[in-house]
Amino acid sequence: MKRAIVLLSVFIVLVAIVIGCNTPSKVEPDANQPKLISTENASQKTANTQQQTEKVTLKKEPANAKPLYSNPQAYQVTRTLAIKNDTATVRSLRVWMPNVVTLEYQKDISSQSTSPNVTNQWKDQQADTSMSFWEFSNRPAVNSSLTIIDQFTYTCYAIDCTDFPEHIASYDKSDPQYTFFTQPEKYIESDNPRIIDTAKEIVGNNTNPVQTARLLYDWVINYLSYKEPLGLRGAKLALENKWGNCGDYSALFVALCRATGIPARPVVGRWATSSPGDWHVWAEFYVPEYGWVPADVTNQDLHGGDNFGHIDNRRLVFNKQYNVTLHPSPQLIPSEFGVLQAFIWEYEGFAGEISADLSYIIKPVTQQ
């Protein structure tokens, strides 16, 4: 049997991993959430971020000070992937989708039902990445559809990192985790000479990781303008072009942090809404003996407020990495993708008209 991959399938694979930064919708507004800032020139942005930098105060907190997780909000989620086959002959169909993962601020995950049953599941604890895999033979047939439905509940907490210790311990550079979260990689080119020079110019002689991260955070907000290109472009291109989407904002912030020796990583997810395209990416950096601190550069740039160390309880996290390797390995498409955020699929057979559509219904659950 001749093996073929349809051009339409390749196109949908690319569309399925587009990173979006829409304003969260269909959720009751939080009184503590910043309002949309529709007009703000460069000088205003600079003044605002300078004021925010002054708010980074190091207090004589105990060594065991940690981020505060509060305001838990439970959600009911129904995720549906509908694959509609009009004219293609499908011999084998393979689908990969990210799973929701348990975190300090994302808990009580309870799977209610998955149909059809998954073929395989895989998890990488280090990168907080988990994925489900389905494989189908001779489905969907011509003029028919195949639907994957996944239902689960989870609870999201707001994060507040305000009081950092006055004296912050040094990083243990012999720790494999330190190496893992400070190394350069595709889209996070922290070894790029221009990124290294830019980071040095921004932070000067500052060695405190919290103050250094704040300087880098404010610089990215002032430097980049928001645009939404197709897919992830990464830190290097964001620096060169002075624009990007939320994935690029986060990539540049993470790369600058890593270039200064601060462990940092992207956080890939979406807003806890049912609106199509409500995908989002932000970042975290690590403070010794304190923990991971959130930093949502894009959300603050677009909507104001202060998202350095502060994020809301209206998010759904899938993983904390770029350059995700699919498990099991695909047979027709690359095994590594920039992000695993929506879904990735391939099929073998004969060319025809076939399409896939992913939707979410996410409803807040009233606390009893």
For the residues 322-343, what does the mean pLDDT come to?
95
| Reduced DSSP (H G I as helix, E B as strand, rest coil) percent helix, strand, coil of the chain, to 5 | 20, 35, 40
pLDDT at 39: 25
- How many angstroms separate the CA atoms of 77 and 149, rounded? 10
pLDDT at 7: 34
| Mean of the per-residue pLDDT values of the chain | 86
Say if residue 6's pLDDT is above 50: no
Q: Reduced to 3 states, what is the DSSP secondary structure of residue 266?
A: strand
pLDDT at 247: 96
pLDDT in tens, 83-134: 999 999 999 999 999 999 999 999 999 999 999 999 999 998 888 899 999 9
Say if residue 9's pLDDT is above 90: no
Say if residue 265's pLDDT is above 50: yes
Candidates 278, 269, 248; CA nearest to 106 is 269
What is the radius of gyration, based on Cα positions, of the chain? Answer: 21
SS (H, E, C) 182-237: CCCECCECCCCHHHHHHHHHHHCCCCCHHHHHHHHHHHHHHHCEECCCCCCCCHHH
Domain boundaries, the chain: 7-19+71-157+323-365, 42-70+165-319
Region at 367 (left for phi over 0; alpha for psi -120 to 50; beta for the rest): beta
State pTM to two decimals: 0.85
Q: Does domain 42-70+165-319 have CATH number 3.10.620.30?
A: yes
Partners of 153 in the beta sheet?
76, 110
pLDDT in tens, 20-53: 565 554 333 333 332 222 223 333 444 444 444 4
Q: Contact 17/340 with Cβ under 8 angstroms?
A: yes
Say if residue 361's pLDDT is above 90: yes
More confident residue, 276 or 295: 295
pLDDT in tens, 126-166: 888 999 999 999 999 999 999 999 999 999 999 999 888 88
Say if residue 18's pLDDT is above 50: no
For the residues 306-327, what does the mean pLDDT come to?
96
Q: Categorize the per-residue pLDDT at 263 as very low, low, confident or very high, splitting at 50, 70 and 90.
A: very high
pLDDT at 63: 52
More confident residue, 274 or 15: 274
pLDDT in tens, 167-182: 899 999 999 999 999 9
CB-based contacts of 44, cutoff 8 Å, min separation 6: none
At how many degrees (to 10) do helices 193-203 and 209-223 cross?
110
DSSP H or E run through 258: helix 246-259
Supply the CATH classification number for the domain 7-19+71-157+323-365.
Answer: 2.60.40.2250
More confident residue, 52 or 208: 208
CB-based contacts of 261, cutoff 8 Å, min separation 6: 171, 182
Q: Categorize the per-residue pLDDT at 56 as very low, low, confident or very high, splitting at 50, 70 and 90.
A: very low
Say if residue 317's pLDDT is above 90: yes
pLDDT at 65: 76
Let me know if the fold of 7-19+71-157+323-365 is the same as that of 42-70+165-319: no
For the residues 323-340, what does the mean pLDDT come to?
95
